Structure 1
């Protein structure tokens, strides 16, 4: 949170896939927080935010409003820099 935001990985894995999911996190050295209810497409977060395909990334403000979707590379870096510069936290 030192830059004013958190990263959270939400997995849409299924029951019986937990060990594989956790191994992928470790193998890929993903250091941020990860959650999964192992309910696949019935995942509450996927339903709440209308996730229809994976992978996706969302920038969500503290009120739960989506402020950007599926940004990658330079576009993502620019949006994060913009939010940090204007003092917004999310």
Structure 2
């Protein structure tokens, strides 16, 4: 994390108590939110799933300072690669 990079996670746990337990256990150093709609399988997707078009988790997206989606469905080394690419392309 630097001045130009912020991580935010959104939990799709079906129960708030499960999310709060994870917060206590993991103590991760970034903003962590909870979507009470939970992760939807088979029915109408929730608002976040519709907005970003995902149906599996974890789902990682890279969004620039202007709110533009730069990359989505990132995994493993591709996360780092896309961050470095964004810094070079957008002078982040």
Is the pair's TM-score, using the shorter chain for normalization, greater than 0.5?
yes
* 1:66 has 2:69 as partner: yes
Q: Kindly report which structure 2 residues correspond to 1:70-85, keeping only aligned pairs within 5 A, or say none.
A: 70-85=73-88
* Counterpart residue number, 1:25: 23
* Counterpart residue number, 1:12: 12
* Counterpart residue number, 2:55: 52
Structure 2 gaps of 5+ residues are none
2:70–2:86 contact (8 Å) kept in structure 1:
no
CA RMSD of the aligned region, Å?
2.3
Give runs of ≥4 in structure 1 deviating > 4 Å: none
Structure 1 gaps of 5+ residues are none
Cα displacement (A) at 1:88? 3.5
1:4–1:84 contact (8 Å) kept in structure 2:
no
Cα displacement (A) at 1:3? 4.1
Structure 1 counterpart of 2:34, from 33, 36, 39: 36
Q: Secondary structure at the match of 2:4?
A: coil
TM-score (norm 1): 0.72
Cα displacement (A) at 1:18? 1.0
- Deviation digits for residues 27-81 of structure 1 (CA, Å, limit 9, x no counterpart): 2232211112311135432221122221111112234332112323322212212
